[in-house]
Amino acid sequence: MPASAAPSRTRGPSRAGRVLIGVLLVLAIVAVAVPVGLFALPGAATGGSPSADDVAAVPAQRTPTALAAPVDPGIAAGGTPSSGMSPNSLPSSGATGGSTGITTAPLPTAAGVAAALAAARTAAPGVDVSAAVLDAATGRSVHQDGAAEPRLPASNLKLLSSLAILTTLDPQSRLTTAAVRGTGRGDVVLVGAGDVMLGSGASNASAIQGHAGLQTLAARTAVSLRAAGVTGTVRVSVDTTRFSGPALNPAWYADDVAAGQIGAVGPLALWSGHTRPDAAPGERPTDPALAAGQAFATALRAALGSTADVAPAVTRTAAPVRSAAARLGAVDSATVGEQVQWLLEHSDNDVAEALTRVAARAAGRSTDPAGTAAFVRDTVTRLGLDTRGLVITDACGLADSNRVSAATLAGAMRRIVTDGRFGDAVAGLPVAGLTGTLDDRFTGDADAAGAGVVRAKTGTLNEASTLTGYVMDRDGRLLVFAFMASNPPGATAAARGALDRAAAALAGCGCR
């Protein structure tokens, strides 16, 4: 049976009314719970999020920067600190007012948290949830319930892929899509470097999707062709040799591919493998790379005008030379960090797969599905996270053969919020009731305490729902959590509700 239960991406801005209600609610909570100045505001990643002014008014939505990650395998795995390391030895940050609110606020007791979570889950009988809750400052376990049990992570696997990307690639680096000379005088090869967020129009410096535009690339290429005196017929081909192996992971269900949850993975595509920026999941070209080539050929034909004629057919070939001397034009993507923000906020399967392959190649690993999965798994091991029962078969979480424990996910989230290398991952986490894949959740009375306060990565397949993130509790203690539900048949909404209520319980919890 197909694994998927929901579109891979959430598109469009949140409703203004819901944003206003969420902000007002959070301001009331923040007034008594969150020390002002404790966080630093993450950069706004997409046009679908509230404005910088809106978010700045809500400290609970800001990225925690006052914690630093101790190099300690026990803590990284979600356990207790090793001997010789003080649980409260994390340095303060004078720039943000210090971390004293996080490290000196009372730590909730295990019994208190267990009671709060049990009460939150009574409304969803039959939904089996495993849970891990850690104190962000010390890494100590606050609550465990089946935390070591490997389960289906769904899109929470993207957290592990993001760790692999950001530990390998410079988050400020960009992917360059180039047009180069082919073997013949009129041959132009469009070389993919892993940017699957290309736009068909002009480059848009303020956007992530469409940051690099094929119309801009065509204009630059036309200038070079005119300068070289090229006339007659120009032939366009695409080079997708940067990635190896099958474009579709054998672990994905054919029905999920047909429904548009994922498409052929390659180093070259428009709009995350779709036909336009606001396309529905199923609106995909059969071959994303050739579709990008066609869009480039169309733009090049318009840019050249009467100078030369561009042949209608676009083929696939390897570029004979990729040197700077052979380059006719190039456009750069949004930064790697911005792309990580996007893939987490929108749970973008295509970007997760392509960008993880780029990182695997940079690490000297195979870019086929098996090699990319092994690269992510090895990164988890290298970071000292709990790997008991860990099975990774793709980078986006669509495969139902993946297995990750709540302990691993909670340890990964703690690493994300305490290690400065992963600031872009924190900035990409959806805000409950306001942004990304959480924009329409935490809207009821039972989970309202989490609205605007919880930041978490969602995950939904037919058989599983997951939620991993962080929250400031009522006393000002920063907690990280991972909740994993096995969905009873037809109970996906109930499972999601159980996870949302659990996260909201932590937000409203003193729990001592």
Mean pLDDT on 140-154: 97
pTM exceeding the 0.75 threshold for the entire prediction = yes
pLDDT at 4: 59
Domains of the chain: residue spans and CATH:
16-153+428-507 (no CATH), 174-335 (3.50.80.20)
**In this structure, how many other beta carbons lie within 10 angstroms of the beta carbon of residue 1?**
8
370-381 per-position pLDDT tens digit: 999 999 999 999
Percent of the chain whose predicted confidence (pLDDT) is above 90: 73
Of the candidates 199, 183, 191, 195, the one whose C-alpha atom is nearest the C-alpha of residue 235 is: 183
* Residue 28 main-chain phi, psi, to 5 deg: -65, -40
387-410 per-position pLDDT tens digit: 999 999 999 999 999 999 999 999
Which DSSP string corresponds to 340-385?
HHHHHHTT-HHHHHHHHHHHHHHTT---SHHHHHHHHHHHHHHTT-
Residue 286, burial from CB neighbour count under 10 angstroms (0-12, 13-18, 19+): exposed
* DSSP class of 466: E
Least confident of 63-77, 194-208, 441-455, 461-475: 63-77
Instruction: With a cut of 60, say whether residue 79 has pLDDT above it.
Output: no
- Which tokens in the block code for residue 161? 């892929």
501, 446 Cβ separation under 8 angstroms: yes
Round to whole Å and give the CA distance between 312 and 63: 49
Instruction: With a cut of 90, say whether residue 54 has pLDDT above it.
Output: no
Round to whole Å and give the CA distance between 512 and 111: 7
Question: 3-state SS string over 285-322?
Answer: CCCHHHHHHHHHHHHHHHHHCCCEEEEEEEEECCCCCC
Round to whole Å and give the CA distance between 170 and 420: 13
Q: E strands along 126-231, which residues? A: 128-135, 141-145, 174-181, 187-191, 195-198
Round to whole Å and give the CA distance between 406 and 132: 6
| Local confidence band at 121 (pLDDT 50, 70, 90 cut-offs) | confident
Round to whole Å and give the CA distance between 364 and 352: 18
Mean pLDDT on 474-496: 91
Average pLDDT score over the chain: 84
pLDDT at 103: 67
Of the candidates 411, 454, 404, the one whose C-alpha atom is nearest the C-alpha of residue 134 is: 411
pLDDT at 489: 80
Regarding beta strands 39-40 and 128-135, do their DSSP bridges make them parallel or antiparallel, or are they unpaired?
A: unpaired
pLDDT at 309: 95
507, 473 Cβ separation under 8 angstroms: yes
pLDDT at 15: 42
